[in-house]
Amino acid sequence: MTKILTLCFALILSSALSFAQDVVGKWKLDDVSSIVEDYNAGDCYNGKIVWLETPTNKDGSPVLDTNNPDKSLQSRQLIGLNMLSGLKKVDGEYKNGNIYDPGNGKTYYCSMKVEGDVLKVKGSLDKRGLLGRTMDWFRVK
């Protein structure tokens, strides 16, 4: 009976740990300016903006992607905008994707790693991640 209980406990614990390491869910950016919802799309992971601290301009109009270098995209709303794309899960990390920064209109290479309730998001100029910075995003429960 003890062996069965131990096995059940081990299975429950491993399930909980694998769920805790999953990137899917909502994450608050370290500057608390927005929340991004990461989701699975086939064989890759993406993330879209679902909440902004300031969702509207002074005139009440929604905040738009005005810094995008593509003029045809400058009229799209930031809420609902995919800012993470194409990340693939490799050995417990999420790699080989892109992150779009609506603050400056630039797209960077991206990799991520879940550490408990913290998502380590690295944006970089180079694919290997040598020239960039890492941000901590926090799981929203």
Name the residue with tokens 């005139």.
Answer: 59
Q: Where are the domains of the chain?
A: 23-139
Burial of 59 (0-12, 13-18, 19+ CB in 10 A): exposed
- Euclidean distance between CA atoms 85 and 74, whole angstroms: 19
Domain 23-139 in CATH 2.40.128.520? The answer is: yes
The pLDDT profile of the chain, 141 residues, written as one tens digit per residue, is 544 433 333 333 333 334 446 999 999 999 999 999 999 999 999 999 999 999 999 999 999 999 999 999 999 999 999 999 999 999 999 999 999 999 999 999 999 999 999 999 999 998 887 899 999 999 998
Cα–Cα distance for residue pair 49/53, rounded to 1 Å: 11
Q: Give the model's pLDDT for residue 71.
A: 97
pTM attached to this predicted model: 0.83
